[in-house]
Amino acid sequence: MNDQVELRVGGKIFGGWKRVYIQRSIEQIAGGFVLEVSHRWPGVDIPVGLREGLPCEVRINGELMITGYIDMYEPETTEDESFIRVEGRDKTGDLVDCSAIHKTGQWRGVKLEQLVRDIAAPFGITVKVAPGLDQGDIFKSFALEDGEKAFEAIDRACRLRAVLCTSTPAGEVLLTDAGTEAAGAAIEEGVNARRFRATHTWKERYSQITLKAQTPGDDDEYGAAAAQLKATAKDAEIDRYRPLVVMADHSTSSASLKERAEWEVKVRMGRGKRGTCTVVGWRTGKDGVGGELWRPNTTTPIKSERMNLDLTMLIVSCAYTLSEQGAFTEITFARPEAFELVEGVGRSKLSKRLNDKTQKEKKKKKDGGYTAPWDLNAPQEYR
């Protein structure tokens, strides 16, 4: 593989890494990296000038992947070996770790972008908005919760406006939605995929979902005596009787309730088909050579007869790895419907149950263990 990974710190470039793990994901607010190098002969010094807390960049063949800080620096020497391990994250990792502080802690009459900028500004973090993104209505009122971390507040606001929040390789907060751009290559068993794992489940899917909402009487729209609305959506793939009735957690209109019911069907459908695969190299070209780097938030056809997959899926995350076994990209994918959002549903009880389930699955991996394949002591997940 010709791709070279460089760690740039204070004008110096550190290369020659023997083990690499770089991850970017639309499910995380910050990308992260783990780099290792060892020299198995005496007289070779560990690179100097590195320490925890330093600003850094990680690049692949000059292409920016991470802009942030070194979280941990771990050197080690013996009489005949030198070893170094460096871990770090995007600048946006500070939003995960630190509390949200704002002069009043409240906003009125602002758009999502302004709210996020105000929270991110003390950290020196820029906010970008994807071209054409619909940010939804202004916030009539939004307040920080006691002890709330900066990212928790940003994520809460984004969910209320049906926006995905992730980061850019430049360490910026990116407000966006599920991508439709093609990755440039298919992933196919027996061609470029070395390993597949898929999950197909109906456990959280229902033949019919009915949402109900209590609504005060309104002479103009509902009639003075109206007190309850309901809307129903069906999942055509569920061929047996599996109904679900959910009470919406706040009053709404009949049109938005119908939209929310349809969203519940779609997002459950999307989360019911998900998987991971490992492809050779870091690029979309043949045998991982040439072409663009595999990227999250792009789409790609996934074909595997044994995994019962023949669909165009959304790439959720990419982890670029290098070890003694070679260079590979670990790709997580899901049906695009899993990332379709509807304004206001992010904090619904139904959505919360789905989110809680995802978090429980992450907890099984040592608090969401962000684990390099060659080391179980890698840093925790960044979101």
Asked if the model's pLDDT at residue 370 lies above 50, the reply is no
Q: What burial letters (b/e) apply to 98-124, b meaning 16+ CB within 10 Å?
A: eebebeeeebeebbbbebbbbbbeeee
Residue with the bigger pLDDT between 65 and 346: it is 65
Q: Are 196 and 304 spatial neighbours (Cβ–Cβ below 8 Å)?
A: yes
Angle (nearest 5°) at CA 320 between 316 and 27? 25
* Angstrom distance (rounded) from CA 119 to CA 101: 7
From the options 2.30.300.10, 3.30.10.20, 3.30.160.100, 3.40.50.150, give the CATH code of 179-201+272-340: 2.30.300.10
The class of domain 91-177 in CATH terms is alpha beta
Please state which of the ranges 207-221, 254-268, 275-289 shows the lowest mean pLDDT. Answer: 207-221
The span from the CA of 82 to the CA of 148, in Å, is 42
- Percent of the chain exceeding pLDDT 70 equals 82
Phi, psi of 129 (to 5 degrees): -120, 130
CATH 3.55.50.10 region(s) of the chain?
91-177
CATH of 208-267, one of 3.30.1920, 1.10.3470, 3.40.50, 3.30.70: 3.30.1920
pLDDT given at position 95: 97
The token duo for 216 is 């005060």
Quote the CA–CA distance of 348 and 193 in Å, as a whole number: 38
In the prediction, which pLDDT does 224 show?
Answer: 46
CA dihedral 353, 359, 362, 368 (to 10 degrees): 180
Asked whether 38 and 18 are in contact (CB, 8 A), the reply is: yes
* Confidence label for 220 from pLDDT (cuts 50, 70 and 90): low
Q: What is the Cα 289 distance to its own chain's centre?
A: 26
The position carrying tokens 């692949």 is 60
- Compute the average pLDDT of residues 64-73: 97
Report pLDDT digits (tens) over 119-129: 999 999 999 99
Q: What is the mean pLDDT of residues 3-23?
A: 92
**pTM summary value:** 0.83
DSSP codes, 201-256: --TT--SEEEEEEE---BTTTTBTT--EEEEEEE-TT--S--EEEEE-SS---HHH
* Residue intervals in the chain for CATH 3.30.1920: 208-267
Residue 4 has pLDDT above 70, yes or no: yes
Exposure b/e, 245-266, CB count within 10 A at least 16 = b: ebebeeebeeebbbbbbbbbbb
Q: Tell me the C-alpha distance between 194 and 185, whole Å.
A: 15
pLDDT at 77: 83
CB 271 within 8 A of CB 279: no
Q: Distances in Å between the alpha carbon of 60 and those of 66, 90, 124, 128, 371? A: 10, 15, 25, 23, 20
pLDDT of the residue at 47: 64
Residue 167: strand, helix, or coil: strand
Q: Which two tokens stand for residue 95?
A: 């939003």
Region(s) of the chain under CATH 2.30.300.10? 5-90, 179-201+272-340
> How confident is the model at residue 79, as a pLDDT?
79
Of the pLDDT bands very low, low, confident and very high (cuts 50, 70, 90), residue 1 is: low
pLDDT confidence tier of residue 78, bands split at 50, 70 and 90: confident
Do 60 and 293 touch, CB atoms closer than 8 A?
Answer: yes
Contacts of 358 (CB under 8 A, 6+ apart): none
> Residue 277 forms beta bridges with which residues?
196, 331
- Provide CATH code, domain 5-90: 2.30.300.10
Of 297, 307, 305, the residue nearest 276 (C-alpha) = 307
Mean residue pLDDT of the chain comes to 85
Q: Is the pLDDT of residue 93 over 80?
A: yes
- Residue 139 CB neighbour total at 10 angstroms: 19
The confidence band for 289, taking pLDDT boundaries of 50, 70 and 90, is confident
Weakest-pLDDT range from 65-74, 281-290, 297-306: 281-290
pLDDT at 259: 83
Pairing of strands 299-304, 187-188: parallel
